[in-house]
Amino acid sequence: MFASGGYDHCVHLWSVKADLSSASPTTLSIKHNSQIQSLLAIHDSSHKLVSAGADCSVNIWDLSSERVVHSLKTSNSVYHAHPTTSPFCTLLEVSHCDSQFELRDHRLIPTVPVQRFGYVTLQFHGRYMKGTLFSNCFASGDRGGRVRVWDLRNIEKPCAQIECFDGQKIAHVVSHSSRLLACSENSQIRSIKYDQAI
């Protein structure tokens, strides 16, 4: 199975034949009022699907009961959703100028429901900039060519800031093996060792 969502405001769950010859969709009854920008499969007490949209809403769909078991409202439009080391928490990248990241506990009665962090900037990240999680850390690039790394156990300020590309937007940061890979808007790639970042 795989899931898709987009401009039709719907989430489709696709079943793929074993021989990969075809796939058939089922539309889930998840309500969004705008485009769906991120989907994330998680497993806490059961298999679930997180859908996040431009309408500032996050829905958590339980695959076994076939219903939305929890809905959250975010401060701004959600660009990306990431799994964390806790199955009950999700990291969201949102449209904001100083708190671009939200660490959300999606249990019904969380101790700390949301922690927001980020850095001050004049422009939103946008849908085409994406960070990455590794161990207990989160890394994200900015529009000036710098990668910031936060330890999720202490998000007051970045634990590292690495200059990668002078004045070029970093479109994507990926963790790979023992390194971070930063990709600039003009397709240059820089490899960063983890021990430089932590």
Q: Per residue in 160-176, pLDDT tens?
A: 999 999 989 999 999 98
Q: Please give the average per-residue pLDDT across 177-194, as a whole number.
A: 90
Say yes or no: do domains 36-126 and 128-198 share a fold.
yes
Tell me, what's the pLDDT at 196? Answer: 52
132 and 101 Cβ atoms separated by less than 8 Å: no
Q: In CATH, what class is 36-126?
A: mainly beta
Mean pLDDT of 65-81: 93
| 118-151 pLDDT tens trace | 998 888 777 789 999 998 899 999 999 999 999 9
**What percentage of the chain carries pLDDT values higher than 90?**
76
Q: What is the pLDDT of residue 20?
A: 87
Residue ranges per domain, the chain? Answer: 36-126, 128-198
**Contacts from 153-161 at CB under 8 Å and sequence distance 24+?**
155/103, 155/115, 155/117, 156/117, 158/119, 159/197, 159/198, 160/196, 160/197, 160/198
pLDDT digits (tens, 9 = 90+) for 90-110: 999 999 888 999 999 988 777
pTM exceeds 0.95 for this model: no
CATH number for the domain formed by residue range(s) 128-198: 2.40.10.480
Query: pLDDT tens across 11-50, in order?
Result: 999 999 999 899 999 999 998 999 999 999 999 999 999 9
Residue 198, pLDDT > 80, answer no
With a pLDDT cut of 70, the percent of the chain lying above it is 97
Q: What is the mean pLDDT of residues 58-74?
A: 94
